Structure formats: structure tokens, C-alpha cells
Amino acid sequence: MRDEIGCSILLITHSLGLVARYCDLVAVIYAGEIVERGAVADVVRHPAHPYTADLFTCDVEIDAPRANPPLAQSFQVIRGELPALRDLPKGCIYAPRCAHAVADCTAAHPDLRPLAGKPGQEARCILTP
């Protein structure tokens, strides 16, 4: 439909598999804030923000066979809890759940910045080059 009538489509989902299949650009949002954005092909191949990488570990193939019984299906989850939006952490909003967080992650809120050598891809992480 997008190609037939020349329009844009906004897809809001937790499934990066769907994004990879149907989108050209992606903005990954955590707790209401863009933590990574860029061309889908770049973000899929080289996720720069830990939340993006963690989402990929949780993604389920939409065409994969279901477990029998369905409740036996196991899913990967991201440890921890989403922060309260009225009381966000001082530094990186993902730091409390991030397996790669260091002390500097909680010191100041990181800016969304371009990635070295990856034109068009940006991430909000002090650990990303």
C-alpha cells in the first residue's frame, strides 16, 4: 500500500522482527524517550543502545511454531522494571536495567548523538563510540 499510493506508514510495536521486515527507518523508544534511531538495516545489524540489543533477544519469530501446550512457550524478558515516568533516574533512564551500566551512566542524562562511522544512526548511550 505504501508503494502504491506513495505514503508513509507509522508502525508502533515491540517486535523488531516486524520492523526489520516492513520498515526503512526505526526509532527505538524507552520510557518515552528515543534511545536509538537510524536505518533499519544498520540498527538490526549493529544495535548501538543496550535496550535495542535487549529487545532483539526478546523478539519471537512470528512464523515460528508454537509450543504445545502454548503455556510451555518460553520467552526471554528484560530484567528489572520500567521506571516511573514521574520519577525518572538522573542519568541514563535504562541504566537500572542495563547489564553494561557503569557509574558514569547514572551521573548525567546522555544526549542522542551520532555514531562514529555510521551516518544516520544515533544512540543515547555513553558507552557507544
| Burial category of 46 from C-beta neighbours within 10 Å (exposed 0-12, middle 13-18, buried 19 and up) | middle
Q: Residue 53: its pLDDT value, please?
A: 93
Q: Residue 129: its pLDDT value, please?
A: 81
Which three cell numbers mark 61?
519469530
Contact 125, 47 (CB under 8 A): no
Residue 129 lies in a domain: no
pLDDT tens, N- to C-terminus, the chain (129 residues): 778 888 888 889 888 778 888 889 999 999 999 999 999 999 999 999 999 999 888 766 656 666 666 665 667 788 899 999 998 989 999 999 999 999 999 999 999 999 998 899 999 999 988
Q: Residue 102: its pLDDT value, please?
A: 96
Residue 44 lies in a domain: yes
Residue 39 lies in a domain: yes
Residue 73 lies in a domain: yes
How many independent structural domains does the chain possess?
1
Contact 21, 9 (CB under 8 A): no
Cα torsion through 56, 58, 63, 68, rounded to 10: 160
Residue 128 lies in a domain: no
List Cα–Cα distances, 55 to 17, 76, 90, 104, 117, in angstroms.
Answer: 10, 9, 23, 23, 23
User: What pTM, to 2 d.p., does this model score?
Assistant: 0.83
CATH number at residue 60: 3.40.50.300
Q: Residue 38: its pLDDT value, please?
A: 96
The domain containing residue 12 runs over which residues?
A: 2-123
Q: Residue 61: its pLDDT value, please?
A: 62
Residue 36 lies in a domain: yes
Residue 27 lies in a domain: yes
